[in-house]
């Protein structure tokens, strides 16, 4: 069900986006039927004195320690950094166990953690990465890295998304990290997303036209057939961009890209997810339904929009 009301709270904006001394959110887990509050704020007030040189590609590892540069030049990159810092200032506090997601926007969040730990504003945190690349970023930032075997209960997880609908439901998995992202998110009490505003949509599938599905390699052919027979559409095996073979996930699995039918209004994505993960050989889907507490959108004019349940 789509949210029945959307309101703008100027006073809440001043509280939530007022800087790193703002209180940490203690909101309960979100309800899929709860209304979404929208808050907008210019990104300039979150400009920091130092920045990392960010790459939108996850195909190479850049050293965080060696890549401190001037603030991002483009408004959207400036807003992405500001969104990550605003999110961190409002949700992260000392002593927390933090799930750290994947993608170029999340790299700004790693910078936030690095700067706050170095300044002494954050102490005794532990970071659980959702991918090999994120783990490298955290290590290079000299941040404490653990895994869910050591920390099966997390205070918060902050991640990116490929699409966010008006109910704050997500499609993720464009980077192939969906299973580890889902595990880490499920371990966290609070899940917050930071994303470029072009990921925003009314309904899932409006912008991101495929659903990533992680499968055991031996099962990918029958799973493709079962998905088409049960749900329609087409499925394709994701091929690596650097070699002529399937992309291999961090879990040594394949990714299927399901081009789902677009002519089904008000699709029940929770039911679709349940049906897909019930197929033998399916490990996980990129659907994150009813789990997001808030989203920090970096707008193309350089401002930040915050949507909360």
Residues 145/138, Cβ–Cβ less than 8 Å = yes
Judge if 304 and 254 occupy the same domain: no
How far is residue 287's CA from residue 55's CA, in Å, rounded to a whole number?
26
Judge if 106 and 219 occupy the same domain: no
Judge if 184 and 243 occupy the same domain: no
* Helix 269-277 with 220-231: angle, nearest 10 deg: 140
Which structural domain range is residue 244 located in?
211-285
How far is residue 118's CA from residue 123's CA, in Å, rounded to a whole number?
9
Q: Name the active-site residue from 181, 214, 284, 305.
A: 181
Q: What is the chain's Cα-based Rg?
A: 19
Is 181 tagged catalytic? yes
Judge if 19 and 168 occupy the same domain: yes
Query: What integer pLDDT is reported at residue 48 of this predicted model?
Result: 37
Position 197 in a domain: yes
Judge if 161 and 303 occupy the same domain: yes
Question: Would you call 10 helix, strand, or coil by DSSP?
Answer: helix
Position 37 in a domain: yes
Query: What integer pLDDT is reported at residue 300 of this predicted model?
Result: 84
Judge if 51 and 189 occupy the same domain: yes
Supply the CATH number for residue 236's domain. 3.30.70.260
193: closest CA among 308, 111, 93? 308
- Full pLDDT tens readout for the chain, 309 residues: 444 333 333 333 333 333 333 333 334 445 445 556 666 655 544 433 333 333 333 433 344 443 333 467 788 888 899 999 999 999 999 999 999 999 889 999 999 999 999 999 999 999 999 999 999 999 999 999 999 999 999 999 999 999 999 999 999 999 999 999 999 999 999 999 999 999 999 999 999 999 999 999 999 999 999 999 999 999 999 999 888 999 999 999 999 999 999 988 889 999 999 999 999 999 999 999 999 999 999 998 888 999 998
Supply the CATH number for residue 44's domain. 3.40.50.1360
Judge if 36 and 150 occupy the same domain: yes
Judge if 88 and 221 occupy the same domain: no
Query: What integer pLDDT is reported at residue 265 of this predicted model?
Result: 87
DSSP category for residue 191: E
List alpha helices for the chain, DSSP H: 10-16, 75-91, 104-119, 132-140, 178-187, 220-231, 269-277
Our count of domains for the chain comes to 2
Residue with token string 């401190």: 68
pTM (two decimals): 0.80
Say how many C-beta atoms besides its own lie within 10 A of residue 265's C-beta. 6
Judge if 131 and 221 occupy the same domain: no
């Amino acid at each position: 069900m789509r949210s029945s009301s959307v309101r703008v709270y100027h006073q809440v904006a001043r509280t939530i986006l007022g800087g790193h001394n703002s209180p940490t959110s203690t909101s309960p887990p979100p309800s899929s039927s709860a209304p979404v509050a929208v808050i907008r704020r210019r990104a300039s007030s979150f400009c920091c004195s130092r920045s990392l040189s960010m790459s939108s590609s996850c195909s190479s590892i850049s050293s965080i320690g060696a890549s401190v540069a001037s603030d991002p030049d483009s408004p959207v990159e400036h807003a992405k950094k500001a969104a990550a810092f605003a999110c961190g200032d409002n949700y992260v506090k000392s002593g927390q166990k933090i799930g750290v997601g994947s993608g170029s926007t999340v790299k700004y969040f790693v910078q936030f953690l690095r700067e706050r730990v170095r300044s002494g504003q954050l102490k005794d945190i532990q970071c659980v990465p959702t991918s090999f690349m994120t783990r490298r970023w955290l290590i290079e930032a000299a941040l404490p890295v653990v895994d869910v075997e050591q920390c099966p209960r997390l205070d918060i997880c902050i991640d990116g998304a490929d699409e966010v609908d008006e109910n704050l439901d997500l499609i993720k998995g464009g980077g192939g990290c969906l299973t580890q992202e889902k595990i880490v998110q499920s371990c966290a009490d609070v899940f917050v997303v930071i994303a470029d505003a072009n990921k925003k949509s009314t309904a899932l599938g409006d912008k991101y036209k495929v659903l990533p599905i992680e499968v055991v390699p031996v099962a990918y052919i029958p799973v493709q057939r079962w998905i088409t027979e049960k749900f329609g559409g087409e499925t394709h095996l994701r091929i690596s961009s650097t070699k002529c073979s399937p992309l291999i996930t961090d879990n040594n699995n394949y990714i299927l890209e399901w081009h789902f039918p677009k002519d089904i209004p008000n699709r029940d994505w929770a039911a679709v997810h349940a049906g897909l993960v019930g197929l033998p050989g399916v490990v996980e889907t990129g659907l994150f339904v009813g789990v997001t507490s808030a989203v920090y959108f970096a707008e193309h004019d350089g401002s930040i929009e915050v949507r909360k349940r």
